[in-house]
Chain A
Amino acid sequence: MKRLFRLFDQFWFPQAPAERLAMLRILVGIFAYCLVAANYIQWVEIGRTALVLFKPVGVVALLSRPLPPVVNQVLLIATLLLGIPFILGWRYRFTGPAFAALLLWVISYRLSWSMIYHSMHTTVLHILVLGLSPAADALSLDAQRRSAAGARAEPASAWQYGFPIQLICAVTVFAYFVTGMAKVAGPLGWSWGTGEALRSQVAADAIRKEVLGSAGARLFYRLYNQVWLFAMMAVLTFVVELGAPLALLNKRLGRLWAVTAFLMHWGILFIMAIDFRYHLTGIIYASFFDLERIPAKLKELRARRAARLFSTQMARA
């Protein structure tokens, strides 16, 4: 039993450096901020959509009718304002949860108009985990302030940093797993893997894009008759989605899964012209990698460049 506990402890509460979690905060925070900022005008307009199309989901289900558009706009602005301290790690104990809560609200509200875009779910979940974790113990204004005040430094590596990262990884892979389950549990069952269904789905998507005046993927016209290709893609989709939980068992396996899933989404973009931006940027998979190496590498590069400059100047002198 003790051994089991120890294994569970090692798995669920692994040690990780504060910088890794901090890098995740910065990357996911920047993505979430850009998501809201880039769609700000559209989301404000959505708040003015006809009442008849309002179909509240998630936390917005608390509302029986839409918010006044100005309130929606104020909440969007508040989200953007709080996004900055979230990324910078300023007063994170308050700004972290507050940004997470606001993002959950504005995205739920945005999706409460008869269509749920599933690509935003993991962003919200990741921000929720980050907002409630000590993600600003490093690479943040809070850490800088504490350091300037001479406060005791946070430990370099601890389960408090490893657990949220592990949880983010778990959230990611389970979201994929649920997606895979929907295919298997759907009317097609395992026959979804033959590729026919996938091809029909892509074909339907291409047709509706054309008749509704949106840009479809030209590549699909060339690939339509290559059923074997869709069969391969369907099998790969099953492997990536249903096999996702295995990515938690081993670090290398996790990275392999992350790279495969990342490439799969680029394939989806080329063939189906569907851009899952969180996936295409790779930020969704960032938790599987040693992100703390990025600032260290940058520091090393800067030092190397400074040394080169110095030596050049010395040689000139």
Chain B
Amino acid sequence: MHDNSRMENKPASPSGSVPGPRGESSRSDAQVRLSSAGRHRAGRGCGSLEKTQVRTPSRPPLFGGRLRRESLEVIYDGQCRFCARSLAVLERLARRRLFRLHDANDRQLIRSKFPPLDGADTRDAMFAVTPRGEVFRGFFAFRRILWESARFYPFLPLFYAPGAALLGPRIYAWVARNRRRFGCSQDGSEMCGLFPARGQTAGPGRRPPTGLDGVRANREGGCEMSPTISQLTKVQAGRTSDRLRHLLPRKAIAGVFGFLLLGAILAPIAQNWRANPQDSVPFSYYPMFSAKRGDAYVVSYIVGLDAQGNRHPISYKFAGDGGFNQTRRQINRLIHERKADTLCQAVATKLALAAAPYGEITTVGIVTGEFRFADYFAGQKAPLSERVHASCQVARRGHGKEVEQ
């Protein structure tokens, strides 16, 4: 398992603050700033070669797009086909270039371009370095990459869901540990044939990648081409089972998405043990019907009194528009916040315009009553006790005129 905290402990830049773009800035997880020297070297190295970018006619248009000058640098295991494919799939889905790739196995290159990563566990996890020099590791690097294209934004809530930062690195670590197993490693294709041929395609409009066109050598970004990727290209050429191998990253992405989603659904279980549990949407801990109740029940409601002092129940609809339970909660909240008077006035105003059976009501009260279950369902419906929070008169126009006359 990769330990993301390792990167947190790395020394930050002398400049101190870490102004990460697009929402990552405030996070301390796995991000450090490259030294200015390293940044300068990285920019110069890739930038100068960018002009000599090699483009072959056979490359699909979606990879033909020019890489933005300000883009991510991704350091990954170049000997892992699964990793290369996964990154290629990301770009394919984004329909544009997102990052420059660098083989983490080329220690000399890494040392020269990214000095702070010298000695980092680049073999265990992917790293993403932003143009500002921030470094993200593993799951957080993957999440940072997703910010690069608006097409991935729908996935972001999932990656920022409660528990994602806990679960994500673990899933990433598992995938990273096993990447050469399901990833068609450079040195053999034993696991490539793990899943039987089915001839699937990935869905509507998604052209299945052919060959290794998805794997972009880092020379495109202007840096030296990784020999491993060039070897890969040769190995791949002419193979008929290419499409199969493309299924693996897709399955991996789909699988990770599925696990993250299920993790986000299960994560709220932890709320049950919190002193002040927080419910949310669409990931909830579903607390309904789990509360402990005694033999009595305390509830707040609205009552009306007519001129003779007879009680009349008043519908919750006079207190709110959001349905029964929402209005009930809102009544409770207003009482709790000592705003029962405001609620009482609002109900009285509405009642003043109401016809039968509310026409006779002269006084409105916001009350909390206690009922004993056994008594109530035996027919004795009067509350054991009742507390009046607010009381106000219903000022009907007709009534007012009569008074004036």
| Interface set of A (CB-CB < 8 Å, partner B) | 1-2, 5-6, 9, 12-13, 15, 42, 45-46, 48-49, 52-53, 57-61, 92-93, 97, 100-101, 104, 107-108, 111, 113-118, 120-121, 124-125, 128-129, 131-134, 136-137, 142-143, 146, 154-155, 158-160, 163, 166-167, 170-171, 174-175, 177-179, 181-183, 185-188, 192, 197-198, 200-201, 203-204, 206-214, 220-221, 224-225
Contacts and interface: CB of A to CB of B under 8 A. Distances in A.
User: Which 8 pairs across A and B sit closest by C-beta, in order of nearness?
Assistant: A134-B203, A213-B315, A115-B326, A185-B272, A58-B281, A186-B290, A179-B286, A200-B293
B320 interface: yes
B154 A198 contact: no
B199 A159 contact: no
Interface in B102-156: 154-155
A209 B324 contact: yes
A197 B287 contact: no
Contacts of B155: 132
Interface residues on B, range: 35 or more
Given A121-B284, A158-B200, A188-B292, A208 B299 contact: yes
Given A92-B204, A154-B203, A212 B324 contact: yes
A207 B284 contact: no
5 contacts: A49-B321, A111-B281, A121-B282, A131-B154, A213-B317
Contacts of A177: 266
B313 A182 contact: no
Interface stretch (B32-40, B164-172, B255-263): B255-263
Contacts of B258: 12, 163, 166-167, 170
Contact of B329 (A92, A115, A136, A155): A115
B60 interface: no
B373 A203 contact: yes
Contacts of B261: 125, 128-129, 167, 171
A42 B321 contact: yes
B376 A159 contact: no
Interface in B271-290: 272-273, 279-290
B354 interface: no
Contacts of A200: 293-295, 297, 373
A171 B264 CA distance: 10
Given A57-B279, A209-B324, A159 B337 contact: no
B293 A204 contact: yes
Given A121-B284, A171-B265, A178-B268, A12 B255 contact: yes
